[in-house]
Every structure is written in C-alpha cells, then in structure tokens.
Structure 1
Amino acid sequence: MHKTADIKEAVSYIQTLTNKKPTIGIILGSGLGPFADTLQNAVHIPYDNIPHFTKSAAVGHANELVIGDVGGKTIVAMKGRFHYYEGCTLDQVTFPVRVMKMLGIEKLIITNACGAINTDFAPGDLMLITDHINLTGNNPLLGPNNADLGVRFLDLSDTYSKKLRKTVLDIADDLNITLRQGVYAWWSGPMYETPAEIRMMRTMGADAVGMSTVPEAIIARHSGIETIGISCLTNMACGILDQPLGHEEVIETAERVKTTFLNLVTEIIARF
C-alpha cells in the first residue's frame, strides 16, 4: 500500500515547478500521447525527476507528466503509463493516481489501446468502458490498508461513473462520433492471449482485452475520484481473424484515430 509521506514528497516536488492547480487527470495509453501536446501553457516533468515514480519502457510512452490547459480547464496528463507486465509492482503502476488525487484531481479519464473481443466491433472503434473483469489474480489493494487513502473493503459497483458516462455519450452524439460501450478484461501480458483464452473471455462477457487500466481505476475509486475509461480498439483479439498480432498494428491504428480521439477527449474535459 502507498505511503502518505511518499505521495506528499512527489506532490511537493511537482508544486515547485508549477503553481497550476489541475482538477482533471488523464492517463494516456499506447499511441495516445499526442493529446498531451495540445495542452497550452504546459509544464513537462520527466518521470525520472519525480520522487517515487518509475519509468515505462513500452513503445509509444514518453514518460512525462504534463500539466497545462485545455477546454478552459487545467489538467494533468500522464504521457505514458507503467505496466504490470514490465515487472512493475501494482504500487508503482498506481502511484501516479495517488499523486493526482493529492494534487486536487476530482475526475480522471483513463485511456488505453486494446484488442476487440466483441465481433460487432472493429479496429479503430472507440469504446467507453462500462465495467471490468480482472483476470490477473492480483489487485493493488492487497496488503495492509492505509486508512488515510481509502476504505479497507471497497465497493466497485460504480468504478466507471454512470453519471460521467452519460455525459460522454451525449458528447459523442453531439460530435457524431460512434462510441461503443463494453466490458474491459485486464490481462497481465506481455504475451497476447490464446484463441482459447479469448473464447473464455467472450463467454465471461468481455468485449475487449488489454494490459492496463484496471489497477488505476481501482485506485481512483479507492481515492474517491470519479472515473471514466476509454479504449481505442486497435486490433481484433487473437483467433478472431486469421492473422498474427503485433504492437506495430496498435500504434498504427491509434495514429489513424488520433483526430477523433483528440476531439472527443477535448470536449469531455470542457464539459466536465
């Protein structure tokens, strides 16, 4: 469990570099980092410099915290995240969410690039996460609880805020953006799933599968942050199409839908 003193140390360092007070946070997944480049009056802080932050080696992750303005709001963006499959502990993966909370974040947008299980979906679609399935056998709340940060036994029934999801759906409709809705399955990675595992996930009710998001969402809920999740469906999951999977496809598809994603997220922030 995170230590309050460690969170305060990271927050204090960030506050020496900017007097901005963000109220909205966003975690940017593979290929989605360019959103951070649209922020105005931005301060870029390398993860290496922030106490107790780790660093991602994943392709498409720039490893910097960006605080700036967009849509009339001040936000903090993670341009790159940490992954369980990299050997990071879940405390390391989710530490930035604790820091965001102490910075004053009230709402969090978690994004990712992932594979579609639902065959009604297609690469390039965006999906609003309605719920998740944790297939890793682990979670970031195991171990002693720090009561200063949240409750011991956490209710996850509204992890992805129903109220905020309604707002996002209204925005997508106004922008004429097709926004799918579905359940996200968290897979540890780094290997892609087998065809048999994808069939299992479909039977369980999963619409998409990826290697992130769920631990951050759990800690956001534990911290009292209203959260939404948006997935960029970059490929069909293993076994659905007769072709191998690769990370290059993930990055290429994220680039293709970049403009739609940027427009949607910018408007979401403006209306939150």
Structure 2
Amino acid sequence: MMTAPSADRAAAAVAERAPGFVPRVGLILGSGLGGVADRIVDPIAIPYADLPGFPQPGVEGHAGRLVLGRLGGEAVACLQGRVHLFEGADAADIRLLVRTLKRLGCEILIATNAAGSLRAGMAAGSLMMLADHINLLPMNPLVGPNDDAFGPRFPALDEAYDPVLRDRFRAAAGAAGLALTEGVYLAYLGPSFSTVAESRAFIRLGADAVGMSTVPEVIVARHCGLRVAAISAIVSPSAGVETAAGSEATSHEQTLAMAARAGEDLSRLLVAFLERLSNGDRR
C-alpha cells in the first residue's frame, strides 16, 4: 500500500496555522472568480508557497492562496486559484491540492471555473451547474500506481456530480432568485481557445460548455470519497457559437472581466447553498 506523505505534510502545515479548524467544504475558484474568497468570514490566508509541495499558479486571476474560514456559516477551505496542465502542471500537483482538502476533513468539494458556451442562448455572465463531463485532456490524474490510502483502483464516475448536492444548488438558486442552467462540461488541454471546427465537434459530442480545468480535480475528489458539485461561470461563446449579442473574439482579458461579473452571482449562490448546509440540510 502506498502512503501520501505530501498531502499529510501539507495538511499538517495548515493545522499549524489554523489549529483546531476542520473545514467541511472545499472550494476551488477558477479564473477571475477569486473574489468569492473575499466574502469568507474570519479568514486565515496561507500562500501556496508556505505549504509543502503546493504548486504555484502561473495564470492571471489565480492568486495561489488557501483561505480558511466561514462562508454562509459553514467551515470552508478555499483554494483561491488552481494549476492547469497547459502550464506544465502534472497529475501529482492536482492530486496534492485535492487530497490535502480531504486530509483537512472536507466531505464536499465545490469546483468552479470560467467556461465558454457551446449552447446558443447561454449568455456570458450566466451560471451553469455541471451535470456531467467529457474528458478530452491527454491524461487521467489516477494513471500510475494506485494510492490505496485514498481510494480504489477503478473508481466509478457515473454520478461524478452528486445528485443530492445538485438538488440543493437548484433550491439555493431559487431561494436567491438566480438563474442556474445545467449542462455537460468538456475539458481540453488549451491554452489556445478552440477553433470553429472544434466547437462544432464538441457540440456533436454532447457538450454545453468548454474549458481547460476542473475534470482532473473532480476525478481525484471522487477517487478519495469527496462528494462533488461544480459550477461554470460562462464568460463567452466559443468560436462559431452565435448568441443574441453576436460573437466576438475570445481573450483571457474578456474571460477575467466576465468571470468577475458572474462571480457576484456565484458568490450569492454559494452563500445560499452553504447556508442550507449550515442550517442542517446535510443530505
């Protein structure tokens, strides 16, 4: 049986900075969505550089901090920024980030991302809850010897996105007066944005939104027994996808600007969801 000293060491370093704090929910904030962390009450912020083995994000809009505290009354551990495969990150980096949340005591992972719309009418600035995903990344983070300390060799992903948590998000969105669509997220490597032909191919595969992250984290989380939900902030139509406002060239600057706008609604949604958990709805 393999051990996981890196996740244990990182969790121990966190415990030294926040003794006795046990988060129930882990959050991963995507491009331009780091402002959600600003709403955490009594925050303890730890730079990734201070945590053994933690990778350093290299993309603008990813602060690279672990923020502990309470959001919506619930104890959370928030990864303010992620690393991407296109940056040169590898499977071990992604495993460490997620498994550290598990070692800290998290039971639920909520992943967020900025994504391009593949569905006509799903406008920039809107929120989409992931119902499923398609992995077109050139890897699976569980390739290699299995770490039995975390999970089985062949984890099931037929309910990668927890149905009960999705029900809770629908209820939270309704209570907060927010529109929340649902769909399939497709992950590909990047960092170039998709071509028109690629967008058409993704649509034929059944995808509703496309991005460059999230799926590896979800796989690792399910492997180690975390319940998962995920929300995409739609920042632009993908190439060749027409919207009511027409289409325009996609850029990272546009991604950050639209994610910041969508981040306000995302913050409200997360707070409403976490308030329900904090008030006893822990199904």
TM-score, L = length of structure 2: 0.93
**274, 277, 283: which is aligned to 1:269?**
274
Aligned pairs (5 A) from 1:107-186: 107-186=108-187
Aligned pairs (5 A) from 1:1-272: 3-19=3-19, 20-241=21-242, 242-272=247-277
CA contact (8 A) 2:172 2:273 kept: yes
Tell me the CA shift for residue 3 of structure 1: 4.7
Corresponding letter in the other structure for 1:14:
V
Corresponding letter in the other structure for 1:144:
P
Q: Distance in 2 between matches of 1:218 and 1:254?
A: 24
Q: Distance in 1 between matches of 2:117 and 2:268?
A: 22
Q: Distance in 2 between matches of 1:133 and 1:194?
A: 18
SS at match of 2:14: helix
Deviations 1:198-241 (A, max 9, x none): 11110010000000000000011001001100000000001224
CA contact (8 A) 2:234 2:262 kept: no
Tell me the CA shift for residue 6 of structure 1: 1.3
Corresponding letter in the other structure for 1:66:
V
CA contact (8 A) 2:138 2:189 kept: no
Q: Which residue of 1 aligns with 2:280?
A: none
Corresponding letter in the other structure for 1:236:
P
**Range with bigger deviation, 170-179 or 101-110:** 170-179
Q: Distance in 2 between matches of 1:3 and 1:204?
A: 38
CA contact (8 A) 2:117 2:241 kept: no
Deviations 1:224-261 (A, max 9, x none): 00110000000000122453210111111112223211
Corresponding letter in the other structure for 2:79:
M
CA contact (8 A) 2:233 2:263 kept: no
CA contact (8 A) 1:84 1:93 kept: no
CA contact (8 A) 1:27 1:110 kept: yes
CA contact (8 A) 1:171 1:267 kept: yes
Tell me the CA shift for residue 134 of structure 1: 0.4
Corresponding letter in the other structure for 2:199:
I
Corresponding letter in the other structure for 2:264:
T
| RMSD over equivalenced CA pairs, Å | 1.3
Moved over 2 A (4+): none
SS at match of 1:118: coil
Corresponding letter in the other structure for 1:83:
H
SS at match of 1:144: coil
Corresponding letter in the other structure for 1:256:
R
Q: Distance in 1 between matches of 2:160 and 2:215?
A: 10
State the number of aligned residues. Answer: 272
Deviations 1:69-99 (A, max 9, x none): 1222111001111111100002212311100
CA contact (8 A) 2:108 2:226 kept: yes
